[in-house]
């Protein structure tokens, strides 16, 4: 699970996930598993998949997606951003976007 810790109390920890859900986790879960603090990192790698219509101009989709992603202010190491065609069928294509970003921005 990924998110931002909003509250820690005697019984549980409240986490706000990136899709804005509020999750209450008992403290016992944190005693049994390691916790990774991503805010201590300078940058993180993220992969996002999107589905597009197969009839679109795929080279243009890949090129414009790369441009738009790299124009975002929190993207780091822009030379390593990748936009790749992953799979396709007769109706849709799956495109993977791999990027580095600052988790503290």
Each residue's pLDDT tens digit, 65-75? 999 999 999 99
pLDDT tens for 50-63 read 999 999 999 999 99
Q: CATH class for domain 41-101?
A: alpha beta
User: 19: which residues sit within 8 A by CB, 6+ positions away?
Assistant: none
pLDDT tens for 20-37 read 999 999 998 878 887 777
Q: Are 6 and 16 in contact (CB under 8 A)?
A: yes
Q: Quick one: tokens of 39?
A: 């805010």
């Amino acid at each position: 699970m990924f998110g931002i810790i909003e509250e820690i109390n005697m019984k549980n920890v409240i986490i706000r996930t990136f899709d804005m859900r509020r999750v209450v986790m008992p403290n016992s879960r944190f005693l049994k598993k390691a916790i990774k603090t991503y805010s201590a990192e300078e940058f993180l790698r993220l992969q996002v998949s999107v589905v597009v219509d197969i009839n679109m101009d795929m080279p243009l989709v890949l090129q414009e997606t790369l441009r738009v992603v790299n124009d975002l202010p929190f993207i780091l190491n822009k030379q390593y951003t990748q936009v790749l065609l992953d799979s396709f069928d007769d109706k849709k294509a799956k495109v993977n976007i791999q990027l580095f970003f600052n988790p503290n921005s």
